[in-house]
Amino acid sequence: LGPGLNEDELTILRSDGEEDTPATVSATCRRTCCRGSLEAALPSAAGEPEHLDPVEELSRAASPPVSLSATSQRLRAAESASATLQAASPLALRSASGWASECAGCRGDATSQWAAALAPHAGVSCAFCLGRILVQTSAASSSTDATAPAAAIARVVLQNAGGSAWPSRTAFRLVAGHGFGFDSLEIGALPPAFLAEIVLDLAIPAQPVGGRSGARSAWILEDGDGRPFGPLVLLEVVWK
């Protein structure tokens, strides 16, 4: 990947691989290739460091459940919302003097690690860790631009695995931890079998967030009425 992007991006792909940009999606679109899948030969997530808090309840940032007065069509769309992770690119990091790097062996399927947190949410299919970023705070402090954050870019490709379009208010939202500049991206009514490539353009600070030496962030698809579905996407940051 090249230099950091200036905005979060969403690319919609049809099942035949061609791009499609529904009117409900107002984001930069780029042609992309969808490679790999969640079951690809990626290293398993590393052991849990003591200074990282567990993932918070997925409904922490969710809105109240849909009321009984909602239309049956809306309810059916929400209940059938389904998504799978088709690809996740390696993290692309850029920092002054190279004070941010990726820890080896921390990227990959984390479903078994977070089984207890995912169990109450039938629509959540899996958990995937994008990686763990190590920030050398002493090197960052002595760099020529100690206040500039590191740029971290990750791409995930999600597919509508259900039989109907996602609810019109579907968004990819932060549900735990610090967003590092990416809190939410509206996706809308993605048709069945279509793919959405989401580019997370993150700004990682040179010093710990909230005075802690570690942080974990989590994003997931949410249907607009408080119901999460699809893969839980994780990122860990450690300051040392």
Task: Give the model's pLDDT for residue 198.
Answer: 96
Top pLDDT among 151 and 44 is at: 151
In the predicted model, what is the mean pLDDT of residues 142-165? Answer: 87
Residue 158 has pLDDT above 80, yes or no: yes
Q: Using one digit for the tens of pLDDT, what is the confidence trace for 120-137?
A: 888 998 999 999 999 998
Q: What is the mean pLDDT of the chain?
A: 74
**How would DSSP label each residue in the chain?**
--SPPSS-EEEEE-TTS-B---TT--S----------TTSS-PPPPPPPTTSPPPPPGGGGPPPPPPTTS-HHHHHHHHT--EEEEEEPPPEEE-GGG-EEEPTT--EE-TTTTHHHHTT-TTEEEEEEEEEEEE-HHHHHTSTTTTSPEEEEEEEEEEE-SSSPPPTT-EEEEEES--TT--EEE---PPTT-EEEEEEEEEE-SS-GGG-SEEEEEEEEE-SSS-EEEEEEEEEEEE-
Residue 151 pLDDT greater than 80, yes or no: yes
Q: What pLDDT, on a 0 to 100 scale, did the predictor assign at position 59?
A: 38
The pLDDT of 39-56, averaged and rounded, is 40
* pLDDT band at residue 159 using 50, 70 and 90 as cut-offs: very high
pLDDT tens-digit readout, 65-79: 334 344 444 444 455
Confidence of residue 211 (pLDDT cuts 50, 70, 90): confident
